[in-house]
Amino acid sequence: MVINENVLDMIGNTPMVDVSRLSPNPNVRIVAKLESQNPFGSVKDRIARQMIEAAEKDGRLHPGQTIIEPSSGNTGIAMAAIAQMKGYPIKILMPTSVSIERRQMLEVFGAELILTPGEEGSNGAVRRAQQMAAEHPEWCFLYQYANDANPRAHYEGTGPEIWRDCPEITH
């Protein structure tokens, strides 16, 4: 058995499974990538690590600096877990309509939750995060919705893994 030194090294290289029998067409092959096998349970583990590490590399994120991010769940959970491991305080803004289970996961990873009105949805959390980031320029606002590191995680990670594991892919 391989014992990993760092859970962050376990993000990515997720397994794939043939799910072709789910199709009514017997002449197709369908393969699913099991991103839920990432350490924090979703595909968002990849983008959270990529955004945090990119911000560290380019100097926007410094040791001990607070991260702020709006999220309805998976991105926030992954960011909170990674922030905790790297020693960053993190504030996650989310609507009150988000499930108690997601809130509890964020609290397990040490996130400070800032709840916004549920009727405003995710857009309300985004607006409040933007406002708070403007009021606190000393914080690092990664902003998943406009962060180039977000899609780059898949361009540099998920995509090449799929090509490596399924070289016969045509489309």
Q: Is residue 26 part of a domain?
A: no
Assess whether 33 carries a catalytic annotation. Answer: no
Domain-embedded: residue 52: yes
Q: What does the pLDDT look like over 68-104, one tens digit per residue?
A: 999 999 999 999 999 999 999 999 999 999 999 999 9
Total number of domains constituting the chain:
1
Residue 103 lies in domain: 45-150
pLDDT tens-digit map of 101-152: 999 999 999 999 999 999 999 999 999 999 999 999 999 999 999 999 999 9
CATH code of the domain in which 143 resides: 3.40.50.1100
Backbone angles phi, psi at 17, to 5 degrees: -135, 140
33 assigned to some structural domain: no
Q: What is the pLDDT of residues 41-57, one digit of tens each?
A: 999 999 999 999 999 99
122 inside domain:
yes
Angle (nearest 5°) at CA 166 between 48 and 15? 45
Residues 31/21, Cβ–Cβ less than 8 Å: no
In a domain, residue 106? The reply is: yes
Q: 44, 57, 86, 91: which one is catalytic?
A: 44
